[in-house]
Amino acid sequence: MHKTFRSLSNPQYRLWAMGAFVSNIGTWLQRTAQDWIVIAELSNGNATAVGIVVALQFIFLPIIGWAADYFDRRKLLIVTQSLRGLLALVQAIMILNGHLELWHMYIFAFLLGCFTAFDTPARHAFVADLVADKDLANAVSLNSISFNSARMIGPAIAGFLILLMGAGWVFALNALSFIPIIAITYMIKAKPVNLLPSVESDSSKSSKATLFDGFHYIRQRPDMIIAITMFFFFAMFGLNFTVYLTSMTVHVFTGNSQQFGILMSIMAVGSIVGAMITANREKPNLHFISFSAIGFGGIALIASIIPNFWLFAVSLSLIGMTTQLFTTSVHSLIQLSAQKYIRGRVIAILLATSVGGSAIGGPLVGWTADLLGARWAIACGGIIALLTAALGLRYLHQRGDK
């Protein structure tokens, strides 16, 4: 157990993890309320609208990710977290006053995407600034445990609060949840990493870090190319389960916001198990990543034909576990493979391909669910995951790995 949580022995990381956990709960409170209000109140059950809202939150990440290597990450995070909290507060006020319409939600999702484009790569790279390289894979897994523990708690609370008080107060709680992480980030005195290449690097001729340096770096690493490509296709369907679940809850199980929150939370339980497994793996590899995708694909195909709400919920825990095994292992593999001076840009590219796949897949999943039904949409996700695994295994076979 000590090995699983060894990164928490670092006081700086421990403090950061506490604040991040509170903020993550708030994020999942809002995300649950956001998806529910879009499908249940603003769009008359249109899953495509949910997919569009998801997509708009991530469109800028591919071009802004370099900022994590160019600016002081701690100061950048203080700014981005403050802006995200302010945005949640404005949304809360509009919902509580009855002024929020679907087009407003699209604009808010777009603005959140702008802030997230700076925030997400900086958060991932900042963790690498707080721990030693030998503990980085463990810290990444603990971040996933924190994120998914919040994902377990947040939706369940949100589903209940939406029924009790309405979605506006859920957004307000998210705004409050940013206060601890902003204060903690201000208190942490992590030393800035040498963000630009050292003299011996060929890239040192450039005085400004750019995302193109990250692409050039990855191009020289076939294993990174395969891992990131796999992440892109997996993300298109595998990381859009909130879209599936809104449609399944409303159209298949004719449920309410509380049932939607229960499904989200049960899926998060499996994600925590997956994160615990990866926390004990110091050297992630493409074999493990590929077999995780196979597990996800097989379970998704089974889940697509389960008729009972609670049996479907059980399958979601396994889907959450295999999703976490896949995503955390890819993140750890990429972070451990990249040198520190370029890590932020490489992470940004990984996240860009991930959320780019999610952004493309979100409306596509919603459209598939609206056209063919949520069950067919889930089955399509399973097939894509199996094809993704085949890509990784083919590369390993060609490389001669067994």
179 lies in a domain?
yes
Name every residue whose Cβ is closer than 8 Å to that of residue 215 and which is 6 or more positions away in sequence.
Answer: 349
Confidence of residue 60 (pLDDT cuts 50, 70, 90): low
For the chain, the C-alpha Rg in angstroms (whole number) is 20
Q: Residue 213: what pLDDT?
A: 75
pTM over 0.75: no
Mean pLDDT, the chain, rounded, equals 83
40's tokens: 């249940």
Look up the domain containing 351 and give its range: 8-190+208-399
212 lies in a domain?
yes
Q: In total, how many domains does the chain have?
A: 1
Higher pLDDT, 65 or 49: 49
Which one of 7-16, 137-146, 163-172, 208-217 scores highest in mean pLDDT? 163-172
pLDDT in tens, 195-237: 444 434 444 443 345 567 778 888 888 888 999 999 999 988 8
Q: Residue 104: what pLDDT?
A: 92
228 lies in a domain?
yes
198 lies in a domain?
no
On whether the CB atoms of residues 57 and 113 are closer than 8 A, the answer is yes
139 lies in a domain?
yes
Would the pLDDT of 289 be above 70? yes
202 lies in a domain?
no
286 lies in a domain?
yes
CATH code of the domain covering residue 87:
1.20.1250.20
348's tokens: 């940004």
What span, in angstroms and rounded, lies between the C-alpha atoms of 299 and 51? Answer: 22
CA angle 382, 385, 389 (to 5 degrees): 140
Secondary structure element (H or E) that encloses residue 186, with its range: helix 167-187
Name every residue whose Cβ is closer than 8 Å to that of residue 182 and which is 6 or more positions away in sequence.
Answer: 78, 81, 82, 85
Q: Residue 194: what pLDDT?
A: 45
Q: How far is CA 102 from CA 49, 112, 167, 259, 305, in A?
A: 9, 15, 14, 23, 32
Query: Residue 120: phi, psi to the nearest 5?
Result: -65, -50
354 lies in a domain?
yes
On whether the CB atoms of residues 50 and 31 are closer than 8 A, the answer is no
pLDDT in tens, 361-374: 888 888 888 888 88
Would the pLDDT of 13 be above 90? no
Q: Residue 220: what pLDDT?
A: 85
On whether the CB atoms of residues 196 and 341 are closer than 8 A, the answer is yes
On whether the CB atoms of residues 233 and 384 are closer than 8 A, the answer is yes
Give percent above pLDDT 90 in the chain. Answer: 28
Would the pLDDT of 83 be above 90? yes
Q: How far is CA 187 from CA 72, 110, 146, in A?
A: 14, 30, 20
Q: Residue 348: what pLDDT?
A: 73
What span, in angstroms and rounded, lies between the C-alpha atoms of 122 and 80? Answer: 10
- Strands in 189-248 per DSSP E: none
| Rounded mean pLDDT, 325-346 | 81
When mean pLDDT is compared across 76-90, 131-145, 237-251, 267-281, the lowest value belongs to: 131-145
Would the pLDDT of 182 be above 60? yes
What span, in angstroms and rounded, lies between the C-alpha atoms of 324 and 60? Answer: 24
Give percent above pLDDT 70 in the chain. Answer: 89
What span, in angstroms and rounded, lies between the C-alpha atoms of 240 and 359? Answer: 9
- DSSP-derived secondary structure letter, 341: G
On whether the CB atoms of residues 247 and 374 are closer than 8 A, the answer is yes
